[in-house]
Chain A
Amino acid sequence: MPTDFLLSAIVLTPGVVGLFLLATPREAARLQRWVSLLASLLTLAFAAVAWSRFDPANASFQLVEARTWLPSVGIGYRLGMDGISLVLVLLTALLQPIVFISSWRSIHDKVKGYVVAMLLLETGVLGAFLATDLFLFYVFWELMLVPMYFIIGVWGGERRIYAAVKFVLFTLAGSLLMLVAIIYLSFVFHSQTGTWSFAYEDMLRAAVPMGQGFWHSPQMLLFAAFALAFAIKVPIFPLHTWLPDAHTEAPTGGSIILAGVLLKLGTYGLLRFNRPLFPEAWHRATPLFLILAVIGIVYGALVAWAQKDMKKLVAYSSVTHMGFIVLGLFAGTLTSTQGALLQMVNHGLSTGALFLLVGVVYDRRHTRMIEDFGGLAAVMPLYTGAFLIATLSSIGLPGLNGFVGEFLILTGAFPRHPAVVAVAATGVVLGAVYMLSLVRRVFWNPLAIEANRSLPDLTWREALAFAPLAFFMVWIGVHPGTFLSLSEAAVRRLIGG
């Protein structure tokens, strides 16, 4: 495959295959499952090829593709990959086949719609990570909305409609203002240079005027519009209320993708766009975001602690974890930003694994209430082991991936914001509290409920879905340098350090 098409191949493979699958008869569920799995594996292979051709020393975009699209408006089909997009593309491409494997049996109704929605969603996510044109980015960003709406609304739990509509409205509320901001940014660039463009590299050169105050400062307003869209996606406290609903009601596969990669788009956007495009506004907004991040960390942990529903607990743990990532981004040092990026991957792995594993018992018992379980360690030893690994990764046990990310964020942020770090560190402790108490209640308590005595252990398919996640948890935990070195040059460039 020539390099010129590699990124397009990564982005378009799932979506194009998905559109072809639309034409297959609805009874051909087996075919649809296999083809979608193969398409996602092919995408993963393309992503691996991109990794092998990637030069970590080079900070700028690589494997660049640029084609004209709407030249008179300055819009191009521009794709490019730097270290930051690379790690997130790898994460996405890795999680997608896992999603298909995990929903092999659990989705048996309307299989065609499900796999098509998933594949289109993957195209949207990958496109958003690789787009280097703001218009194109926006198109991919919104492209994710419709498939996710269907995934939650059709295959979700009891309150799926409420959750799906809430997801759509929250997401759009942020992104529509971002659209105006994107247009305005292009307008500023035009007024300064006389050329129309939506290219990311051009926008970096547009110096948006800072002005006075908030309402009269174009830079603050644009920053706010972008930040709102991303903060809702992350989600940053207090915009997080859609998350527990969407995560809880979505089918297992939807939760994995939602937590694993969709949330990362918010933090990715903050890093990719807000930070370099609006540096002064970023600086001025830092205290606010640090405070919100810390509130999110502590609040998310406390609420997670109080949950009776396993899936909701994991959902709230996302609020905490994403709070750490936001903290790392806004602390702004190289170490903390690198830690935040690594933590994006870590959270994708560990939370993806937790949702996957909660889905396993839900498929068997059709309940996710913690009180309905207990003593599972005796009947499902393999499952218990897997859950324990995911838990320990999530709470940051040294040797596993979560520790590296949190450690880098906290050490990176400490010199600049010691007080913030001190409060945030309590979140690490609370994380251990709610996760370990979950493990105790589900796995170690006495096996009191009769229905749980005969639960089958992990099937080979479920184990197969979990294995790659565990593999990367250990790899990152033992040798994070593999991934940190990929993104270092690009992060340096973005934070100007």
Chain B
Amino acid sequence: MNPSDLAAIAPELLLVVMGAVLVLADAFVPALRPRFGAVAGASAVAAAVLRWTGPLPGAVWSGALVVDPLARFVDSYILVAVVLVAIIAGPYLARTAASYGEFYGLLLFSAVGAMVLAKADSLLVIFIGLELLLSISLYVLNAFHRDSGVSLEAGWKYLVVGAFASALLLFGIALLYGATGTFSLAATARVVAERPLAGNPLILAGLALALAGFGFKLALVPFHAWAPDVYQGSPTPVTAFLSVVPKGAMLVTLARVVAALAPQALTPKWLPLLATIAIASQVLGNLVAIAQRDVKRMLAYSGIAHMGYALVGIVAFGFDGLVGVLVYLAAYTVMNIAAFAVVSAFSESEDEPHLITDLAGQGWRRPFLSFTLALAMFSLAGIPPTVGFVAKFLVFRAAVNQGLAWLAVVGVLASFVSVFFYVRVVYYLYMKPLPQRAPAYLEPWPVRVVAGVCALAIVGLGIFPSWLLNAAETAAKTLLR
């Protein structure tokens, strides 16, 4: 270990320390609790500043982690998500009488887990980032309403399914290690390149199991069944976090694995499998979302479909594909957080389902939040000029450029189906009469700030995407040198 190794992970260290400080402060100085959200947000901002000003040395810690522009890109939107979630979490926790200080500490730990995961250059570090840091914090956060049945159910489900997925992943890693004798992605790739895959059941099985583990975390079909219950039951800020951060980090990890394993060599095997998963996720996610009456469940199924679209970028792997995936993840982050922030503000009560009927007529009573939600819906549906459209355009373009035009066609048809339920939200907001009763809860200013930031990002990045695209291109270049 040398000082430059420490400097390279300074943001992560900062977040771990601040997370620990928050957890301890909760125990010893509970009077400071109202400030925790600000501290967590400031820590995330500081970490982002450190990341952008600090060095990007590439492989550090003897090749365990890679700190490169790709990692910086992923860290940026993880930290943006942390800041936004920290802002909406304060009023939310106060309203639901769950202002326990651990929340913010766990949030920071979880973010560190995602950041480590997205930098992992070793199979073992993938597991550590995923399980020890990211998932375990999330298990607690899901069940944060410790008196609520649905919340406990969500935490329990995520735990059981997550443990199962981790076991699959770990087993896959063990098989790969058995076949290659190394945890390093690059070294594994060299071994794989030397031997034909077909004659190597150990590697094939290892890869398949690891992929299944990834699939669970990404909530891809057929590993998606946990998502709706967990989304519905978790505290809404946690759902917002859960829906973007682990998936984003996981998808980048998958991209690293695919890049290392030389996609050309694997293409005949990967392509049909990944393409099937992508299509199945899009189709099933969108079709089942139509039947949902609970907005959070609907967004869960929509999330399944969106990961299917993002996976198209991995299927069409290459520069365009990776750029598409990265832009997709950034877009997905802002639109999903916008949607959950508003849904949370509109719900009658946190114990009840977040029914779409609660939105009736709100468009004319609470115009600003409704506008943001409508914008998020159009963005999720991929209608220009929103960032969601740019993202979809880029992944479909990658598919076409790789000679997979049919995949793009399936993708747009799936989007077509999705328009139906996204537009239904807008229909409730603006075209249904307002029920004759006062809103259960009026959002405080932090929620409006988050909504405003997300709305600006959705339209701003939709009309001027070049900044985001350049960042994604810089990030993608490092991986595909």
B-binding residues in A (CB < 8 A): 26, 68-73, 110, 113, 135, 138-139, 142-143, 145-146, 149-150, 153-154, 160-161, 164-165, 168-169, 172-173, 176-177, 179-180, 183-184, 186-187, 190
List of 3 A-B pairs having minimum Cβ-Cβ separation, nearest first: A176-B412, A139-B384, A183-B400
A183 lies within 8 A of B431 (CB): no
A195 shortest CB reach to chain B, Å: 13
With the chains together, A176 CA to B431 CA distance in Å?
25
With the chains together, A312 CA to B80 CA distance in Å?
52
| 19 A/B residue pairs, CB under 8 Å, sorted by A | A73-B397, A110-B364, A113-B430, A146-B378, A146-B383, A153-B427, A153-B430, A153-B431, A154-B430, A154-B431, A161-B431, A164-B431, A165-B420, A165-B427, A169-B416, A169-B420, A176-B416, A187-B401, A190-B401
* Other 6 A-B pairs with CB < 8 A, given A69-B466, A161-B427, A187-B401: A72-B469, A165-B423, A169-B420, A180-B412, A183-B408, A190-B401
A153-B430, A161-B431, A187-B401 as given contacts; A179 in contact with B473, CB under 8 Å: no
> Which chain B residues lie closer than 8 Å to A172 at the CB level?
416, 419
With the chains together, A252 CA to B469 CA distance in Å?
42
A356 shortest CB reach to chain B, Å: 25
Q: Which of B416, B423, B427 contacts A173 (CB 8 A)?
A: B416
With the chains together, A186 CA to B400 CA distance in Å?
10
Interface string of B369-413 (1 = CB under 8 A from A): 000000000100001110001000110110011000100110011
With the chains together, A135 CA to B397 CA distance in Å?
12
A110-B364, A139-B385, A183-B397 as given contacts; A72 in contact with B473, CB under 8 Å: yes
Interface string of B420-436 (1 = CB under 8 A from A): 10010011001100000
B427 lies within 8 A of A168 (CB): no
Residue of A nearest to B407 (CB): A180
> Which chain A residues lie closer than 8 Å to B408 at the CB level?
180, 183
A70-B469, A160-B431, A176-B412 as given contacts; A187 in contact with B385, CB under 8 Å: no
With the chains together, A135 CA to B396 CA distance in Å?
13
> Which chain A residues lie closer than 8 Å to B401 at the CB level?
187, 190
> Which chain A residues lie closer than 8 Å to B389 at the CB level?
139, 142
> Which chain B residues lie closer than 8 Å to A154 at the CB level?
430-431
A180 lies within 8 A of B384 (CB): no
Residue of B nearest to A110 (CB): B364
> Which chain B residues lie closer than 8 Å to A145 at the CB level?
383
A72-B469, A183-B408 as given contacts; A138 in contact with B427, CB under 8 Å: no
Residue of A nearest to B426 (CB): A149
A184 lies within 8 A of B400 (CB): yes
A381 shortest CB reach to chain B, Å: 39
B181 shortest CB reach to chain A, Å: 41
With the chains together, A139 CA to B386 CA distance in Å?
10
> Which chain B residues lie closer than 8 Å to A187 at the CB level?
397, 400-401
Task: Check if B415 is an interface residue, CB within 8 A of chain A.
Answer: yes
B383 lies within 8 A of A177 (CB): no
B405 lies within 8 A of A70 (CB): no
A153-B431, A168-B419 as given contacts; A177 in contact with B466, CB under 8 Å: no
Residue of A nearest to B470 (CB): A72
With the chains together, A164 CA to B424 CA distance in Å?
11
Task: Check if B465 is an interface residue, CB within 8 A of chain A.
Answer: yes
> Which chain A residues lie closer than 8 Å to B393 at the CB level?
135, 179, 183
B132 shortest CB reach to chain A, Å: 38
With the chains together, A135 CA to B409 CA distance in Å?
17
A70-B466, A176-B416, A179-B396 as given contacts; A142 in contact with B383, CB under 8 Å: yes
> Which chain B residues lie closer than 8 Å to A150 at the CB level?
430
B427 lies within 8 A of A142 (CB): no
B366 shortest CB reach to chain A, Å: 12
Residue of A nearest to B392 (CB): A179
Residue of A nearest to B459 (CB): A19
With the chains together, A113 CA to B389 CA distance in Å?
24
A169 lies within 8 A of B419 (CB): yes
B333 shortest CB reach to chain A, Å: 20
Residue of A nearest to B408 (CB): A180
A149 lies within 8 A of B409 (CB): no
B378 shortest CB reach to chain A, Å: 6
> Which chain A residues lie closer than 8 Å to B430 at the CB level?
113, 150, 153-154
Q: Which of A73, A135, A146, A165 contacts B469 (CB 8 A)?
A: A73
> Which chain B residues lie closer than 8 Å to A110 at the CB level?
364
- Most interface-central of A135, A142, A183 (chain B CB within 10 A): A183
B218 shortest CB reach to chain A, Å: 24
A317 shortest CB reach to chain B, Å: 29
> Which chain B residues lie closer than 8 Å to A180 at the CB level?
396, 400, 405, 408-409, 412
With the chains together, A196 CA to B416 CA distance in Å?
27
With the chains together, A169 CA to B397 CA distance in Å?
23
